[in-house]
Structure 1
Amino acid sequence: MMLYPAMNKLTSFVPNRYMLVNVVARRARQIAADAEENGEHLNEKPVTMAIHEVADGKLDATNMDLTIEEPEEQI
């Protein structure tokens, strides 16, 4: 089975596989949330779109929003 894009191409932008999974998952959630908010239909899955962004060099670990949202307190 051949993986496209190749793992070595993806890890050239994100240093290791574990960080790659984190970056892709976070970006995929952003893509899905934006599409839902705007009522857009996606032709590809958000994960596929995020992987292609990494492969194209548009996304790496340095330009991700690393802030953690705190849950709102329930009163």
Structure 2
Amino acid sequence: MLYPSIDEMMTKVDSKYSLVVAAARRARALREGGKTDIKAPRSHKNVGVALEEIYEDRIIVTRGEE
């Protein structure tokens, strides 16, 4: 089973699209040298770490003005 599950993640964001965009942006920042606050992430990939950060409320996803 995937961690965190999509059902659990949907409590943190308003749409799947917002989740994908936020995770992709954070993963890109991690790839470019950003550091994570998670001590022992389950995932070794940047996207997985980004999703864990969002799930643990270390990254807050807000909706910008359009």
TM-score normalised per structure 2: 0.70
Unaligned runs of 5+ in 2: 35-42
- Counterpart CA distance in 2 for 1:10 and 1:59 is 12
Identity across matched positions, percent: 33
- Counterpart CA distance in 2 for 1:59 and 1:8 is 18
1:58 maps onto 2:55 in alignment: no
The higher radius of gyration belongs to 1
Which has a greater percent of helix?
A: 1
TM-score normalised per structure 1: 0.63
Unaligned runs of 5+ in 1: 36-42, 67-75
Larger CA deviation: 43-52 vs 20-29: 43-52
Q: In angstroms, what is the RMSD of aligned CA positions? A: 2.2
